[in-house]
Structure 1
């Protein structure tokens, strides 16, 4: 409503539009989690039941190692996001509160000239920004955790195949687990493809507009606020690309892991099963956004290049 009714210049539009995109993304993630509740339960059931469930001591250690990494990364990601949000609010408090300006531009259907109403609106926006940050952390950590568990399953499967070299049993479970890993990755991709796609698109717009605004400002509190905001957006894209890249790497590495085994000592049936598993893994698992774009480190570089190109276009139009 502020963009439609009040905004009359480029700076105000950029200020509002960036926050609008982030809050739209927040709402979309929240409703997507609610809509995918049954699918999330299905995904966790795959991981907690055989053949994916770790049984041996070494398998439990592998699972525990990935669990610890997920917990640590979630903690650091939450701290980074909340620090960025707090810094954003604190900077706004130092620069805007005394001038009776809200944290974010907004249209409200009443006059808030009184100190009480202004403080209520200010606190409302502060709570909204914190809750929005927590929704992003929760949704992103869930998706990234599931991708990390896909990598974990490849390591557990590699360990089980190495045991077959010694005991020549359990191949049936290994084949079933291999199928479950592909099913797990397919379900994660299908259920969260839209979230990842919209995250990429909106983050690209936010980075572009923030670059444009920073280039027009001197080094002051507002510039630092925008830099923190842009850093948070870039981190969001990077963690998706990192874990998507790890899934692709682990699935490709699985073929090499099989080759490194003493497979030539196995009987004919075991060799055939290993060849079938290798044939299926020739095409690595790809996490896809927008049905065509792979989520990996190359895509992260592509987003940066596209954002910078759009920024250059805005600069030329402004000149």
Structure 2
């Protein structure tokens, strides 16, 4: 079973995912490609950060330029995270490809297929939102800035960049870096969403198995000629596999949380400021203006990014809590006494939900999303009163 193939294909074309099996000169060439792409984006982000630091005397300019600069720095963190957490990401895929996670019948095949379609769908949906934001900012810069020889983003560079060859080099460097950052940010986030979707799929498979033991036993008898005196052996193996499957899902969730928690923590930490300043900016613009359009699309990207984090994290938590219900709905009368004792212990463990956290501070739930919106609104009101 191939997991999140579209996501890894995009990362490979962007120079951040060396395909397994590549060795020798082709591997070295790919590493050079990766270094060039990373350097291109880091240099772009560093020039914007330097301008932000040197413009702190003017608070309004610093705040406005800081919104985009912090977004670029978030993408830098995601790039570094993808490079240094590569082994962990591979381990997540290996967990999902283990035999316990493989579908055993048509119903489970449908669950896996649904998970694949949802993971692919969120990549397309979020990708279109990001593409709209990046495209509108690029078009706006071409229309408004190019004729005035003004850069799309404020940047401090060690050479003359307000005219001539230096301007055009910087101008295209910024737009290439901006587009590259949009693709990486979208793909890295969708990789996390897709992993959570597949974890939900595994929890659904486990719930199906626990709730439909009698039907699964009948299918096993039909296909494997299972004899009556072997029922107890099959039952014990079935329960053991379910327990191991649950433990594997917990391990998978912990590894996934360790990989992405720091980046999500940064995202949550900066989102309140970004949303507040963006809303404040839109409130001063005409709805029919081009700047309002791309500011609104940028706002949608940031808001959608956090919402999907919380939505899918919340979905995993709810699915994990339903394991207890699935166990209680099982055919207890057909179980042996030892199996019933094992299931009671299983239920006690399943009462603890799987919870994803950002930096072990904020939990990925819809409650956290509502709290973040309230904080942003409060900050916006405070900023409006001060202004």
* TM bracket (short chain): over 0.9
Give, in angstroms, the shift of residue 262 of structure 1. Answer: 2.6
Q: Mean Cα displacement is larger for which, 239-248 or 212-221?
A: 212-221
Map 1:191-210 → 2, pairs under 5 A: 191-210=259-278
Please provide the CA RMSD for this pair.
1.7
User: Does the 8 Å CA contact 2:261/2:357 hold for their aligned counterparts?
Assistant: yes
**How far, CA to CA, are the matches of 2:86 and 2:298 in structure 1?**
30
Among 275, 281, 289, the alignment partner of 2:344 is: 275
1:221 and 2:290 are equivalent in the alignment: yes
Number of the residue aligned with 1:96? 145
**How far, CA to CA, are the matches of 1:235 and 1:274 in structure 2?**
40
Number of the residue aligned with 2:384? 315
CA deviation map 1:253-296 (0-9, x unaligned): 22222223332332212222222221111121111113132111
Number of the residue aligned with 2:222? none
Among 123, 126, 131, the alignment partner of 2:172 is: 123
Q: Which runs of 5+ in 1 are unaligned?
A: none
Number of the residue aligned with 1:304? 373
Among 5, 8, 15, the alignment partner of 2:64 is: 15
Q: Mean Cα displacement is larger for which, 186-195 or 308-317?
A: 308-317
When Rg is computed on C-alpha atoms for both structures, the one with the higher figure is 2
Number of the residue aligned with 1:253? 322
Number of the residue aligned with 1:173? 241
Number of the residue aligned with 2:257? 189
Among 80, 95, 98, the alignment partner of 1:49 is: 98
1:307–1:121 Cα change, 3 Å: same
1:113–1:35 Cα change, 3 Å: closer
1:215–1:161 Cα change, 3 Å: same
**How far, CA to CA, are the matches of 2:294 and 2:57 in structure 1?**
22
Q: Mean Cα displacement is larger for which, 166-175 or 247-256?
A: 166-175
**How far, CA to CA, are the matches of 1:268 and 1:194 in structure 2?**
45
Among 111, 120, 132, the alignment partner of 2:181 is: 132
User: Does the 8 Å CA contact 2:136/2:294 hold for their aligned counterparts?
Assistant: yes
Give, in angstroms, the shift of residue 201 of structure 1. Answer: 1.3
1:155 and 2:204 are equivalent in the alignment: yes
